[in-house]
Structure 1
Amino acid sequence: MKIIITSDDQGQRLDALLTTKVDDISRTDIQNRLKSGHILVNQKQVKPNYKVKTGDEIEFFEREDVESDIVPENLHLDIVYEDEDLAVVNKPRGMVVHPAAGHASGTLVNGLMYQLDHLSGINGELRPGIVHRIDMDTSGLLMVAKNDIAHRHLVEQLMAKTVTRKYTALVHGVIPHNLGTIEAPIGRNPKERQEMAVVDDGKDAVTHFNVLERFKDFTLVECVLETGRTHQIRVHMKYIGYHLAGDPKYGPRKTIETDGQLLHAGVIGFIHPKTGEYLEFKSELPQYFTEILDDLKKSEL
């Protein structure tokens, strides 16, 4: 993967700039890749604080598969598609995507290492195969790379905003219009470091939505992502005054009693890295979600 610096980015610090150019990669990860030589500028290794110049060519090099201390676990993952290059998995609500502090086991990665024969190594030891993420309490479809070439191609599609990502969400309030677009930058909340928020110096974020069904006090919407910022749909819907139902972090105090936000990644579509064929996969709403919708319908009879 290559990025050519334009005059708009002239003079910015390299590690900070790359966090705005590449989805699902932290500043710390970028700094580690620079130090290990997996990111070069004009074919040379530079420090994270390097100030970029117009015309600079930034190149990301693939990492080899890494040995991992992660224990494979038979978590009976729902693998909806698999070939020698990639897989698509339907993640259940309540499952963390990769090991982190407080979640050493029971993650999607633990299950993938048990069920798949290979995983890409680009994202390092703790995130093998992980191209993008969804929140622990969000259910639905994720792309998984089985080798570094496939990983790079999928990430490039995410950067080019050509991956189809559609989510179904239940939000508080009745949205009067049928269609909408939220274009507001997202970054760390300066008042609460455990949360994200719409902030002036945040990363560009765009969410499109359309209304699927209205209830007395709620609206069922489909959200289509252009970008993939942390907690994007949850933050954007809160920003326009329609908080996700069941959301313990961004939702209102009085909300539907459920284990996390009612948000489901129901559609993922992309170009296959090897065949060039467009593939699209769909996942039906999980049972707990449909039962809540049924209860809302019954309450209005």
Structure 2
Amino acid sequence: MIRDGAIQLNGKPAKPNALTQTGDCVEIAYPDPVETDVEAENIPLEILFEDANLLVLNKPQGMVVHPAPGHLSGTLVNALLYHIRDLSGIGGELRPGIVHRIDRMTSGLLVVAKNDAAHRALSNQFRDHTAHRSYAALVDGNIKADAGKVDAPIARHPVDRKRMAIVPGGRDAITHWRVAARYGQYTLLQLDLETGRTHQIRVHLASLQHPVTGDVVYGREKQPFGLVGQALHGYRLTFVHPKTGERMTFYAPLPDYFLQALKKAGEPGSGEYILNLLKELECGNPS
């Protein structure tokens, strides 16, 4: 937007390296949303909450969030365009309403903006780390410690541009983890994100030599327990409602693919038991 002249500083086009001072006047001219060519598709969605400003949904494993080469249909955006008449356009032509995203083979909670004001407010919360996300992950190996933190910058892999990696000078990335249960060769973790970088949890856990089970990109090629992707689920999402100011927290129970993997790993408890266990571990987290 700076290069397009849409941001002015004290009445003049701002430069990318401009520094602001107290008393400066910054004006932003948001462009009109571009009419999308993405087609609406009648794809079922699991919506947990919806009002005039936003909706919260539980994305299934295997669904791409927004259209991309090789995935121009069957995405969350295609489904949203069918189910909701008006969506925020700030995200651009291919991402109407999308505030944040999760990987295709990761399941879990997402918040979607239904107007531009909600989109800006929610985006600011994710940028400022006042919106919080918690995940459950089954990982390879038996982690000896009960809890820990990975503070390591992430950027594109210097050789394989389709992957992310821990790279000096990359974007700050911090992941907190706690052991929820141990199954000998596998461990169930509860994780909280301070930042939300692409593939953050997967890269950070792989750096501990405990990659997410089923993750063929950052872990082993073998996928046990009938998994077709990584055993990673965003089970909790917290943010402040952009209109009412109410702090809202949502939970998504572990999906069947995750529960089946846990059962085969040796977990005797029910899905409700596991979710309650994860909730107990949230106490004292940075969120």
TM-score band, normalised by shorter chain: 0.7 to 0.9
State the one-letter code of the partner of 1:150.
Answer: A
Q: Which amino acid aligns with 1:185?
A: P
Task: For residues 55-114 of structure 1, give each alpha carbon's deviation from its aligned partner in whole angstroms, at most 9, with x where no partner exists.
Answer: 377665544443211110010111111100011111111111001111111000000010
Which residue is 1:82 aligned to? 50
| Residues 205/42 of structure 1: CA separation in 2 closer, same or farther (3 Å cut) | farther
Q: Secondary structure at the match of 1:238?
A: helix
Aligned amino acid, residue 183 of structure 1:
D
Return the letter of the residue paired with 1:219: T
2-side partners of 1:285 and 1:276: how far apart?
28
Q: How does 1:1-301 map to 2 (within 5 A)?
A: 33-46=1-14, 50-53=16-19, 55=21, 61-256=29-224, 257-297=226-266
- Measure how far apart 1:213 and its partner are: 0.6
Deviations 1:217-244 (A, max 9, x none): 0100011011110000000001111101
Distance 1:124 1:104 in 2: 15
Distance 2:70 2:27 in 1: 34
State the alpha-carbon separation in 2 of the partners of residues 187 and 234 from structure 1.
13
TM-score, with length taken from structure 1: 0.83
Q: Name the residue aligned to 1:5.
A: none
How many residues matched?
A: 265
- 1:54 Cα deviation from its structure 2 partner: 5.5
- Checking the alignment, whether the CA contact within 8 Å between 1:244 and 1:251 is kept in structure 2 is yes
CA distance in 2, matches of 1:241, 1:42: 51
Aligned equivalents of 1:241 and 1:196: distance in 2?
16
Structure 2 runs not aligned, ≥5 long = 269-287
What letter matches 1:72 in structure 2? A
Structure 1: gaps spanning 5 or more residues = 1-32
Provide the identity percentage.
49
CA RMSD of aligned residues (A): 1.9
Residue matched to 1:14: none
Superposition TM-score, scaled by structure 2 size:
0.87
Partner-residue secondary structure (3-state), 2:48: strand
Cα distance, 1:178 vs structure 2: 1.5
1:277/1:255 CA distance change after superposition, 3 Å: same
Query: C-alpha offsets along residues 187-222 of structure 1, whole Å, 9 cap, x if unaligned?
Result: 011121111000001100011111111011010001
- Residue of structure 2 in register with 1:19 after alignment: none
